[in-house]
Structure 1
Amino acid sequence: MAVRALPRAQGEIPLAKKLRVGVLFGGKSGEHEVSLRSGASILLAIDKSRYDVVPMGIAKTGQWLPAEASTAMLGGDFAPKLGKTSTKKKAADTSIASQAPGTAGLDVVFPVLHGTFGEDGTIQGMLELADVAYVGSGVLGSSVGMDKDAMKKMFAVAGLPIVKHVTLLRGEWKANPKKCTKTIEDKLKYPVFVKPANLGSSVGISKVRERAELARAMDEAASFDRKIVIEEGVSGTGKLKGKGKPRELEIAVLGNDDPIASVVGEIVPDREFYDYASKYDSTSTSEPVIPAKITKAQSKQIQAMAIAAFKSCDCSGLARVDFLMEAVEPGSKKEPKIFLNEINTMPGFTSISMYPKLWEATGIGYSELIDRLIALAIERHDERAATTFSKS
């Protein structure tokens, strides 16, 4: 697939000015370590001739750290590889409590934070108040993209195909588990997937095959969020109806008002579904297949659905969109159904993460991808600056 050229504002940054870019990583969420990996990869790959880079780390306690401590938090071999980082305007790197912590003097912030307190609109709101350009979706897109219940409602309004699901509150489950169980079983068939509505990296997700497994899964999900989403599992079509594992397909989206989609990739998990261990455990044998072995028609369908999903949630900058495809019996001519699963507005961003790998296979390398995202952040910030917020 040829990559459509982006307009100048989206694809090029004038070199008359060396931009000062803050790379924000860490955070209080359960995806802290994943964020560190993403931040380290960006810091190593970003073009230092074009950008004056400031590492901005947030400890698990929520404390914002100065540049040197932020680099040290990455640990391992990253600190020596990064070498000296910018020390200009040190006050801007450390004055976290003043105005949007540490953003003074920055042209752009790349908030490569995953999960709660980073991908859910909270950081984005702070950066909006500070009037600084930042990579990724705004407050609405980030919060909707984080909340699986709200996300599905947006998908449904846009007419996009989603799996059957039920949303329950933690309070409802604690007060009357029998009633909640009946609600789930009246509307859905086993197996079901029980998920906390607001969390990423498959944390707190359980596959439930029968009623005996439901309570434990509900308690697990409820420990992570007040809203619990229960989804009916996708199986197969034809003779595989009710059997077989769905194919897990992923695609990357890049842009603002006129986004483009990458080639389609597939994740082949080493267990029943692509859970946290399957994603990050060192023993995992899960593997990505890029491009996915699907038909051209299926690829075009998924690309169109991904862009529609991106727009329906008012996303910008970047997102990875995940799909489930029914299993098909070998040799069958029956067309499998494709369901939109979810959108991830700040996906893992290491050089070997699925989002960058999908763009690499499409023709955009890792460093160029960083350039484009920074340009898109500036474009969106300039667009917002054209908006009048008062009559005076």
Structure 2
Amino acid sequence: MNSPATAKPRVAVVFGGRSSEHAISCVTAGAVLDALDRERYDVVPVGIAPDGRWVLESDDTDRLRLTSAERLPHVDGERASVQLLREEGHTDLVVTEASQPPRALGQVDVVFPVLHGPWGEDGTIQGMLEMAGVRYVGAGVLASAVSMDKAYMKVVLEAAGLPVMPGVVITRREWERDPDVCRERVAALGFPVFCKPARGGSSIGISKVHDASELDAAVAEAQRHDPKVLVEVSAEAAREVECGVLEALDGTVETSMPAEIRIGGDHEFYDFAAKYLPAEHTALDVPADLPDDVAARMRELSVRAFEAVGGEGLARVDFFVLPDGRLVVNELNTMPGFTPTSMYPRMWEASGLGYRELVDRLVQLALRRGTGLR
């Protein structure tokens, strides 16, 4: 814990990052910073600029709000640099400014990494924090890495007996060496398909491919964000329903009421604009209108998916409910969208756990959990 002079645990909220989800991470951070109880915690906002530079960010959360696709919030990379410095028995936050000697902010007790996408949600920062001996919120290295890579996640979930949509992986090398073979593998799935970055999120770089003539452009768009592309069968006429998973302080795993996303208007699927920008055609039903047995089955599969990847802390498990009533796991997110209006907190609100209580639970879980093998 922190020093006796500063009895409150110090929580560093780390956000931004190098991925294409930089702006969404900033939005999430603003909500978490507002929710953390300053009477209980010493809170430090730490931003990672798009070039990877760590800075001591402003505590002004108004600048982290998302108001339009043309004005995306971002980390100010010109601010004072921040480093984690490992000392004997503890790790300090050290600030460096031009023409000034380094100054220590003191020991960091917990990092809340609200990073989305590669270089944050994929096990990289988790590995760094493990090496530094700093506790952190959320999944560990392996669960983060497996869940970020949708291709490997499907392998793990399928091996655990969980239902997933059929798909194929196209690497940049395969596409450059023999694109015709790649096209044949996709055609064997049957159209329509979805083409997406294997290690992306927030629906960035995703295209629905209705026939073979649209495939090349879709692969190119996905490769703008990730050289590894996942192509999956489209779950036609399926309902998109999600379920929250959360560890309790006693180590048991709880699930929220499921919630459904209904898309209309010009959105053919749950794309970036439908997720994050105000839209009259996107409806979120919390809780979802599901038969009791289907909801119970979904909650059971959510726990199984969480345990299959070795999840810790929290996760959001996304499902397709097929027209015949079957459930298919679409993906598992170890750091889901986390604003008060995001699906994960809204599901827990409907289940009796408010946003501030949810944030506090996650910090308390991290404080109780050590680093290293467990």
Q: Same fold (TM over 0.5)?
A: yes
Q: Which of 248, 256, 262 is the equivalent residue of 1:262?
A: 256
Structure 2 residues without counterparts, runs of 5 or longer = 1-5, 67-79, 95-105
**Deviations for 1:54-97, whole angstroms, at most 9, x for unmatched residues?**
1111112211112xx3436862689xxxxxxxxxxxxxx95416
Following the alignment from structure 1 to structure 2, what is the Cα–Cα distance between the partners of residues 297 and 338?
Answer: 12
Following the alignment from structure 1 to structure 2, what is the Cα–Cα distance between the partners of residues 97 and 367?
Answer: 27
- Indicate how the Cα distance of structure 1 residues 385 and 216 shifts in structure 2: closer, same or farther if over 3 A, else same: closer
* Structure 1, 115-124 or 101-110: larger mean CA deviation: 101-110
Q: Which of 242, 254, 270 is the equivalent residue of 1:274?
A: 270
Contact 1:277 1:284 in 2 (8 A): no
Secondary structure of 2:59's counterpart equals: helix
Contact 2:110 2:137 in 1 (8 A): yes
**Deviations for 1:164-216, whole angstroms, at most 9, x for unmatched residues?**
11112111112211111111212x11111111110110111111111111111
Contact 1:95 1:101 in 2 (8 A): no
Secondary structure of 2:289's counterpart equals: coil
- Aligned-residue offset at 1:386: 8.1
Contact 2:194 2:231 in 1 (8 A): yes
**1:96 maps to which residue?**
83
**1:368 maps to which residue?**
357
**1:150 maps to which residue?**
152
**2:241 maps to which residue?**
249
Per residue, is there more helix in 1 or in 2?
1
Equivalent pairs, count: 337
The two structures have a TM-score, normalised by structure 1, of: 0.81
- Aligned-residue offset at 1:309: 0.5
Q: Are 2:163 and 1:161 equivalent residues in the alignment?
A: yes
Contact 1:195 1:221 in 2 (8 A): yes
The 5 A counterparts of 1:148-227 are: 148-186=150-188, 188-227=189-228
**Deviations for 1:27-66, whole angstroms, at most 9, x for unmatched residues?**
1111111111111111111111111111111112211112
**Root mean square deviation, CA, Å:** 2.2
Contact 1:197 1:228 in 2 (8 A): yes
Secondary structure of 1:341's counterpart equals: strand
- Indicate how the Cα distance of structure 1 residues 181 and 385 shifts in structure 2: closer, same or farther if over 3 A, else same: closer
Per residue, is there more strand in 1 or in 2?
2
Following the alignment from structure 1 to structure 2, what is the Cα–Cα distance between the partners of residues 58 and 73?
Answer: 16
Select the structure with the greater relative contact order (CA < 8 A; seq sep ≥ 6): 1
**1:298 maps to which residue?**
294
Following the alignment from structure 1 to structure 2, what is the Cα–Cα distance between the partners of residues 46 and 378?
Answer: 14
- Indicate how the Cα distance of structure 1 residues 34 and 95 shifts in structure 2: closer, same or farther if over 3 A, else same: closer
**1:105 maps to which residue?**
107
Secondary structure of 2:165's counterpart equals: coil
The two structures have a TM-score, normalised by structure 2, of: 0.85
The 5 A counterparts of 1:325-364 are: 325-327=321-323, 335-364=324-353
Q: Are 2:315 and 1:319 equivalent residues in the alignment?
A: yes
Structure 1 residues without counterparts, runs of 5 or longer = 1-15, 79-92, 236-244, 328-334, 388-392
Contact 1:23 1:109 in 2 (8 A): yes
- Indicate how the Cα distance of structure 1 residues 296 and 115 shifts in structure 2: closer, same or farther if over 3 A, else same: same
Contact 2:171 2:228 in 1 (8 A): yes
Contact 1:36 1:74 in 2 (8 A): no
Contact 2:194 2:209 in 1 (8 A): yes
Tell me the amino acid that sits aligned with residue 268 of structure 2.
E
